[in-house]
Amino acid sequence: MHFSFKENDPSLESQWRSIILFGKNSATYKFAFGKSLLELVSREQDTVSLKDLSPIFVNNILEHLKKNDKQGNSNSSTFLNACRKYNKGEIDYDNLLSITEKYGFVNVVDAFQNVNGGSIPSKFYEKDYNGVNKNIVITDELLKLKESFQFANFNEEVEARWNLVETAWNLEINPNLLEVKIDIDLETLFIESNVMRRKDISSAKASLNGYQKGKCFYSFQDISINSGAENLCAIDHFFPHVHKTKMNDLGANVNGIWNLVLSDRLVNLSKSTKIPELKYLERLYKRNEFYIASKHPLGETIINQTGKTSSYRKRFLQKQYDLSVNLAIQKWKPLIELEPFF
């Protein structure tokens, strides 16, 4: 599923998102490195030494360690242990930077651009390791990415993915019991259970946006997740919230992640409580399968909410669609619909 997702849209934006959403997560260095690259491009730097990159990289790790101690699957890490010591005041910053330069980039520089066992087609940087001088050279592809509309969304998307991954690791909850919920009013994702109080995780919009490639779910117009942006998106219930009681009777949570998409605000107003045409149901199914394929914590939640197998999840969606069509009667499609991206 995730391979065709990348193949269907080999744009620079899609390649970047494939790294963040589908790349391996043995440690959170990938997210810190991704945020560091975005910052370098924002500064319009095209070459940086590991020494100069170290403060940017390690500061991202330090902030996340304060919230969640587990940042990798390894039992011991010289680099992460140094970060923990710094946060406790046991080593100074210069010592931390020295350790970061030596140990922090050992695997992430080589692994970052690999997805599904191979390198992405358009490299965002090259290694220039010549003896003692170790540099990262930013390519034209990453500089081009900065010119895209989607660039403004990337930092929040990386942060949202990082928050979800580290939360799942640190809670040490059986994935089958992991249930990510949404606060519609605050537009945030959270976890709570019988054994723990509510734990806020991340922005809902930032968590959903990457899997729609920064496009309106229905019209494929560009959308933004940044507050104050002219085309700030809306969170939409694919099956309307007004059907909540009837859907609950069928065991479906209308506020579940499986039923939430991002849409252009005007498109959202046009849709209102109408039911999208059948082709959009197929699109919703594909979007949900992207989550599951990427081993995303939200994927476990979608499985819990809609079914253990793909065929069961299809039947689940069809059942909700049949119910909603009978309730709403009117079917809907947007007035504007650009070329599909997924």
Looking at residues 78-82, what average pLDDT do you find? 95
Choose between 199 and 40: higher pLDDT: 40
* Per-residue pLDDT at 86: 97
Neighbours of 58 (CB within 10 A): 23
Q: How confident is the model at residue 5 (pLDDT cuts 50, 70, 90)?
A: very low
Backbone dihedral region for residue 262 (phi beyond 0: left; psi -120 to 50: alpha; all else: beta): beta
pLDDT reading at 1 higher than 50: no
Q: Whole-angstrom Cα distance, residue 137 to residue 323?
A: 55
Cα angle 332, 189, 28 (rounded to 5 degrees) comes to: 120
CA distances from 255 to 27, 194, 223, 318, 329 (A): 31, 20, 21, 17, 21
Encode pLDDT of 238-289 as tens digits.
Answer: 999 888 888 888 788 899 999 999 999 999 999 999 999 999 999 999 999 9
pLDDT level of residue 200 (50, 70, 90 thresholds): confident
What is the reported pLDDT for 2?
38
Tell me the pLDDT tens digit for each residue of 301-323: 899 999 999 999 999 999 999 99
The two structure tokens encoding residue 206:
């930032």
Give me the pLDDT at residue 7, please. 38
Determine the pLDDT at residue 194: 62
Is 178 a residue whose pLDDT tops 70?
Answer: no
- For the cut 50, the answer to whether the pLDDT of residue 60 exceeds it is yes
Phi, psi of 164 (to 5 degrees): -70, -40
**pLDDT band at residue 329 using 50, 70 and 90 as cut-offs:** confident
Each residue of 109-168: pLDDT tens digit?
Answer: 999 999 878 888 899 999 999 878 899 999 999 999 999 888 999 999 999 989 988 887
Residue 175: the pLDDT is 53
The arithmetic mean of pLDDT across residues 39-51, rounded, is: 91
Could you give the percent of the chain with pLDDT greater than 90?
56
How confident is the model at residue 177, as a pLDDT?
59
- The token pair at 305 is 């909410």
* Distances in whole angstroms, Cα of residue 323 to Cα of each of 15, 87, 245: 38, 54, 12
pLDDT-derived band of residue 195, with 50, 70 and 90 as boundaries?
Answer: low
Average pLDDT along the chain: 88
Given this model, what pLDDT does residue 4 score?
39
